[in-house]
């Protein structure tokens, strides 16, 4: 019992320390690292949505860029072309992504495994092609330029960081509650045996649809902050490479783990920003790192660290029990003598 209290105390101290660092970060970090932190935060929300769906339900969706584009282009078009002010554009963008997730969910969720992966990839690529071809709406490869952040965020990186941080922490807390709730248990039950859950009478399809919509909503939130941060929305943000980056970050950190999604987002964004200033082939370095992680940590960095911790504990426990057994047997032999 004392050991459990000690572990909880250390955990709470660690969480408090991390929150303290995050709150004080803008006042001691250079502007470059502040911009990097903002990019990690909105990218992390998107990765958490992908990782949640993949880890809890076992579905790897490559439609994240599609929902990203729906929310991002909606905000950009409503503000730049029609002059609609905050908060209407982001609310409509989020609502549009949710509606389309419900619509497409009725089709894609009837497939599984590689068929689900390929179908979502096709829809994602259709969205990318439309963003290139509908030049009268999306302005093609140039994209929509001149998206201004709300007045409370415009021109202040510190304010943008804190608003983004609050939304980021809310998303983490919400997903944590969902994963620990009966709904999270239903998702993992469907992942393990969908037919058994159907036989037990659970509305499996609508549970999967709710998880799919939640993942799309998180992606849309990340897209809204992306548009307001960069002030532009173009097809590069929803390309296949963008989808690969999301999947790469999730697998690197550990699929299904919130901390894994955060760690993967940190690694991918930090490498991209740092190495892109050195070489144009920075994706090659990221790819090599991905191969190394897959070879030695198939469950991601967080999963690999957990396995190392468990194996180390088991080794220590086996040594202790073997030593105690040896001492008991030695005492028994001495008693016989």
Query: What confidence tens digit (pLDDT) does each residue in 26-83 have?
Result: 888 888 889 999 999 999 999 999 999 988 888 888 889 999 999 999 999 999 988 8
CA distance 86 to 64: 24
3-class SS of residue 144: strand
Residue 275 has which token pair? Answer: 């190495």
pTM of structure: 0.85
Cα radius of gyration rounded to whole Å, the chain: 23
CATH 1.10.287 fits 31-296, yes or no: no
- Mean pLDDT along residues 320-324: 48
Contact 109, 208 (CB under 8 A): yes
Residue 232 has which token pair? Answer: 């532009």
More confident residue, 194 or 218: 218
Query: Tokens 């590689």 correspond to what residue?
Result: 114
3-class SS of residue 257: coil
Query: What confidence tens digit (pLDDT) does each residue in 178-214 have?
Result: 999 999 999 999 988 888 898 888 899 999 999 999 9
Q: Rounded to 5 degrees, what angle do the CA atoms 268, 272, 278 make?
A: 145
Band (293; pLDDT cuts 50, 70, 90): confident
CA distance 61 to 153: 32
Query: What confidence tens digit (pLDDT) does each residue in 114-163 have?
Result: 889 899 999 999 999 999 998 888 888 889 998 888 877 766 788 889 99
Helix, strand, coil in percent for the chain, rounding step 5: 80, 0, 15
- Mean pLDDT along residues 81-87: 86
Who's near 23: CB < 8 A, 6+ residues apart? Answer: none
Residue 105 has which token pair? Answer: 């969910």
Query: What confidence tens digit (pLDDT) does each residue in 236-268 have?
Result: 899 888 888 898 888 888 887 888 888 889 888
3-class SS of residue 233: strand
CA atoms within 13 A on the CB side of 163: 18
Residue 320 has pLDDT above 50, yes or no: no
Query: What confidence tens digit (pLDDT) does each residue in 168-187 have?
Result: 999 999 999 999 999 999 99
Q: Nearest Cα to 236, choosing from 127, 81, 147?
A: 127
The pLDDT assigned to 316 comes to 41
Contact 97, 46 (CB under 8 A): no
Residue 284 has pLDDT above 80, yes or no: no
More confident residue, 231 or 278: 231
CA atoms within 13 A on the CB side of 193: 5
- Mean pLDDT along residues 300-329: 54
Write out the H or E segment, with its range, that includes residue 145: strand 144-145
Report the share of the chain in percent with pLDDT over 70: 84
Band (2; pLDDT cuts 50, 70, 90): low
More confident residue, 5 or 316: 5
The mean-pLDDT minimum among 59-68, 101-110, 184-193, 276-285 falls in 276-285
CA distance 193 to 11: 34
- Mean pLDDT along residues 303-330: 51
3-class SS of residue 96: helix
Residue 286 has pLDDT above 90, yes or no: no
């Amino acid at each position: 019992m004392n050991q459990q209290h000690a572990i909880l105390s250390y955990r709470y101290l660690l969480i408090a320390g991390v929150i303290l660092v995050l709150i004080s970060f803008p006042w001691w970090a250079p502007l470059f690292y502040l911009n990097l932190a903002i990019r990690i935060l909105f990218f992390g929300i998107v990765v958490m949505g992908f990782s949640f769906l993949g880890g809890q339900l076992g579905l790897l969706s490559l439609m994240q860029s599609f929902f990203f584009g729906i929310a991002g282009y909606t905000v950009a078009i409503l503000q730049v072309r029609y002059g609609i002010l905050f908060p209407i554009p982001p609310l409509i963008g989020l609502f549009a992504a949710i509606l389309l997730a419900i619509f497409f969910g009725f089709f894609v969720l009837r497939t599984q495994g590689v068929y689900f992966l390929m179908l979502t990839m096709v829809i994602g690529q259709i969205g990318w092609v439309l963003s290139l071809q509908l030049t009268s709406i999306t302005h093609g490869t140039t994209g929509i330029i001149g998206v201004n952040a709300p007045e409370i965020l415009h021109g202040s990186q510190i304010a943008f960081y804190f608003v983004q941080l609050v939304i980021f922490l809310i998303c983490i807390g919400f997903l944590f509650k969902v994963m620990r709730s009966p709904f999270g248990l239903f998702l993992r039950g469907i992942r393990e045996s969908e037919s058994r859950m159907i036989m037990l009478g659970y509305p499996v399809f609508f549970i999967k649809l709710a998880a799919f919509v939640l993942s799309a909503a998180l992606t849309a939130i990340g897209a809204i902050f992306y548009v307001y941060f960069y002030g532009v929305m173009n097809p590069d943000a929803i390309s296949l490479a963008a989808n690969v980056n999301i999947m790469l970050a999730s697998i690197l950190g550990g699929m299904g783990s919130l901390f894994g999604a955060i760690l993967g987002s940190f690694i991918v964004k930090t490498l991209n920003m740092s190495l892109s200033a050195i070489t144009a082939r920075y994706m090659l370095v990221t790819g090599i790192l991905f191969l190394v992680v897959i070879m030695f940590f198939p469950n991601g960095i967080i999963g690999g660290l957990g396995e190392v911790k468990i194996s180390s504990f088991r080794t220590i426990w086996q040594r202790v029990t073997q030593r105690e057994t040896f001492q008991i047997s030695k005492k028994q032999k001495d008693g016989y003598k």
